[in-house]
Amino acid sequence: MPTVARSLSTAPFKDSYQKELLRFLDAHQSPKAIYWEREAIAPVNLIVGHSVLKDHGVNHSYLIDPQHTSQCPPDVKTIFFVLHSNLKILDIVRNFLKSEFSPRAPTSETSKREYCIIAIPTFSVVCKAFLQETQVYNRLSGVYELPLTLLPLDSDLLSMEDPDSFASFSLHENEVSLFNLAKGLMKFQAVYGLFPRIRSKGAKAKRVVAMLAQMRQEAAATANLDVSTDAPTVQPLESPGQADLLIIIDRSVDILTPCLSQLTYEGLINEVFPVKYGSVKIPLPGSENNPKSVVFNSVDQLFSDIRNQNFTNVASILSKRTKELSAIINETKSSKELNKLRQVVGQLPELRQLHASASVHMSIAESVQDYATSDDFMSSFRTQQGDLLFELLTYNGRPLSRSLLFLQDF
């Protein structure tokens, strides 16, 4: 029986995505160029960096621009288009390819050049038909699908980053998001092993479980996963993976909670700034005209320490860390012992990073404080607490003792 890990890291999951992307790239000649749909850059950046792409022959990167899509250098042997299944973007790609295939184009540049599409997470039937109708599809050397359905935002956090999924199913009964979640969970099992138990709450959650069960059976039939075809797919298995239990909860079971104000530092950041894919561009002091991209994950040790703190505690923590940093610097200036100086010099990179992080979070905390102390926020928050208090005091029509309430004043 395999050893069950006590904690999981998303690193193997990220590596699996990266290997899949690099396999697509390595199947074609270098030098290579990538034309990016703007919305595809952020999710791919979560799994692979620019230096890795360069190591695999990608020497040029361009945006797929509706106004003007740049022509790549003549020495490029393979062009990749990284995009979602979006007909507007695909129409730009089609026009670009038509110009490349045009008899007017220099044959020395295009005759031996390969063209490939990498679609995230899938290449739809509609998009394929669109390229076939325009006689472009058959000229492509490859059409690949990169199933980035669960994105590794942090060492212990995966997210679909699909804010429209709830409305898509609830209003339009579109199951694409549910299918993508099920595919992502299958990918998870391919990396970490099967879920021995699955629990669900709500109609959409049960639908995902049904999809997952069907995908397991299909995978078993093709021997992609080592599980008996006649084994119950949502019951405990004899050989569990690294996760003991999967719980899927339908958002419609509790629609109220997302409407309430968050009081943690990270929660308020998400309310103030448009955080997406775990990062956001924020104008910091001295760079108002050139916003800095700030990544919110556990790599930033300071953020890791304060992300789940009530916002009222953040200022004191930042002040303490700043004083500790100042004390170390002052000690270095006054110290004449070589051993201490050598020790501090070894810590300089970490100290610089801590200083930069503290400066960034102090600026962010000021913006969050302005928001959290505004009249609009306070009025909304008092209303929320009043309604919540009323619901608690009249739960199922019966009054509850005040000793059971643990509402903290903001």
Residue-wise pLDDT for 165-174, tens only, equals: 888 888 888 8
pLDDT of residue 367 exceeding 80: yes
Length of the chain: 410
Model pLDDT, residue 227: 44
Tell me: the pLDDT tens digits for 16-39? 999 999 999 999 999 999 999 999
Residue 205 confidence (pLDDT) above 80: yes
Give the C-alpha distances (Å, rounded to integers) separating 91 from 14, 128, 248: 31, 12, 38
Global pTM reads 0.80
Q: Answer yes or no: is pLDDT of 153 > 70.
A: yes
pLDDT score of 82 more than 60: yes
The yes-or-no answer to whether 162-253 and 265-373 have a common fold is no
- CA–CA gap between residue 223 and residue 220 (Å, rounded): 5
CATH match for 10-152 among 3.40.225.10, 1.10.10.10, 3.40.50.2060, 2.30.130.10: 3.40.50.2060
> Top-level CATH class of 265-373?
alpha beta
14 φ/ψ angles, rounded to the nearest 5 degrees: -60, -45
Residue indicated by tokens 């928050």: 381
> Is a pLDDT exceeding 50 seen at residue 232?
no
pLDDT the model gives residue 261 = 86
In CATH, what class is 162-253?
alpha beta
Cβ burial of 259 (10 Å; 0-12, 13-18, 19+) is exposed
Amino acid letter, 315: A
Domain boundaries along the sequence of the chain:
10-152, 162-253, 265-373
CB-side neighbour CA atoms (13 Å) of 48: 23
Around Cβ 201, how many Cβ atoms within 10 Å?
14
Give the span between the Cα atoms of 115 and 78, in whole angstroms: 6
H/E stretch holding 118 reads: strand 114-120
Region 227-234 average pLDDT: 40
Rounded Cα gap, residues 213 and 232, in angstroms:
9
Residue 121 has pLDDT above 60, yes or no: yes
Q: Are strands 157-159 and 151-154 parallel, antiparallel or unpaired?
A: antiparallel
Asked whether the predicted pLDDT for residue 396 surpasses 70, the reply is: no
What value does the mean pLDDT of the chain take?
82
